[in-house]
């Protein structure tokens, strides 16, 4: 006869595993229906434009500020080593490769996850708690098509643009610091930075924000629509959405990098 102390932990972890599997199934269903809705009418173009303004334009100041100082810090960290070996001209190469390949997409994705992922989860969660989502269903409106799809499309369109801005502003910050610390001219820095980037680097830098956009928007919407327990549930869903989005960005970034380095080894 099994011991109760042995069966209790087993039952707990078994139930936890089942909940995770069912949650992954629900999330996959949401992503599937959202992608289908994105290419079938009716379309909510006004909602998409509104969300693009909230996500894209609203995130621009924090992306600009963060990217500029991110590029400047990179030069500060590497200037001592470059000066030591007399290769200060390589500063442009290092900053360009690091920003376009990794820092630009990853940091921008994390910023959007923190700023807009939390907003999406809390907004949808509040609509669930106040029964607005149930009212939409009663009126014959599909909540996924009306609430989720516009946010996913808007994030998918704006995050790559924010990443491009982040890369350029980061390079500008790196140039300013390189000209002050290492006395590099504009031609030295920018020529090296542009020549250092290959097609594989640009492809990698653009594929990542597209994947990150899908992850951040769908995960945030998923946890927002699963809110239970009133206002406390909204807070928990918001926190969970940001954490899950940020972790998924870092994990998926590893696999994308591995694949891209295999496809573009040089």
Looking at the chain, the whole-number percentage of residues with pLDDT higher than 70 is: 93
- What's residue 80's pLDDT? 73
Where are the extended beta strands (E) located within 17-63?
none
Is 60 exceeded by the pLDDT of residue 239? Answer: yes
Residues with Cβ within 8 Å of residue 71, at least 6 apart in sequence: 95, 99, 169, 170, 171, 172, 173, 174, 175, 177
Confidence of residue 256 (pLDDT cuts 50, 70, 90): very high
Average pLDDT over residues 86-93: 74
pTM value is 0.88
The model's pLDDT over 99-115, given as tens digits with 9 standing for 90+, comes to 998 899 999 999 999 99
- What's residue 3's pLDDT? 52
Rounded CA-CA distance 142/133 in Å is 9
Both tokens of 238, joined, read 């918001």
From the list 122, 143, 126, the residue with the least C-alpha distance to 230 is 126
Rounded CA-CA distance 213/194 in Å is 26
Both tokens of 159, joined, read 């995050």
């Amino acid at each position: 006869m099994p011991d109760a102390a042995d069966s209790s932990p087993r039952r707990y972890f078994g139930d936890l595993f089942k909940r995770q599997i069912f949650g992954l199934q629900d999330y996959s269903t949401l992503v599937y229906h959202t992608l289908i809705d994105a290419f079938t009418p009716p379309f909510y173009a006004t909602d998409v434009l509104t969300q693009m303004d909230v996500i894209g334009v609203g995130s621009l100041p924090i992306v600009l500020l963060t990217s500029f100082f991110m590029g400047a810090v990179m030069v500060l960290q590497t200037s001592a080593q470059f000066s030591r070996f007399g290769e200060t001209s390589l500063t442009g190469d290092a900053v360009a490769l690091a920003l376009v390949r990794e820092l630009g997409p990853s940091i921008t994705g994390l910023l959007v996850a923190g700023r807009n992922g939390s907003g999406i989860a809390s907004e949808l969660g509040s609509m669930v708690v106040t029964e607005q989502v149930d009212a939409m269903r009663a009126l014959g409106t599909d909540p996924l098509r009306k609430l989720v799809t516009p946010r996913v499309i808007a994030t998918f369109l704006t995050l790559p643009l924010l990443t491009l801005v982040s890369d350029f502003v980061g390079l500008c910050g790196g140039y300013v610091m390189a000209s002050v610390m290492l006395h590099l001219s504009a031609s030295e820095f920018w020529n090296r930075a542009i020549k250092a980037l290959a097609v594989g680097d640009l492809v990698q830098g653009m594929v990542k924000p597209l994947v990150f956009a899908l992850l951040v928007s769908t995960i945030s919407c998923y946890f927002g629509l699963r809110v239970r327990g009133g206002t406390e549930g909204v807070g928990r869903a918001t926190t969970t959405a940001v954490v899950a989005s940020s972790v998924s960005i870092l994990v998926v970034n590893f696999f994308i990098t591995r694949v891209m380095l295999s496809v573009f080894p040089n």
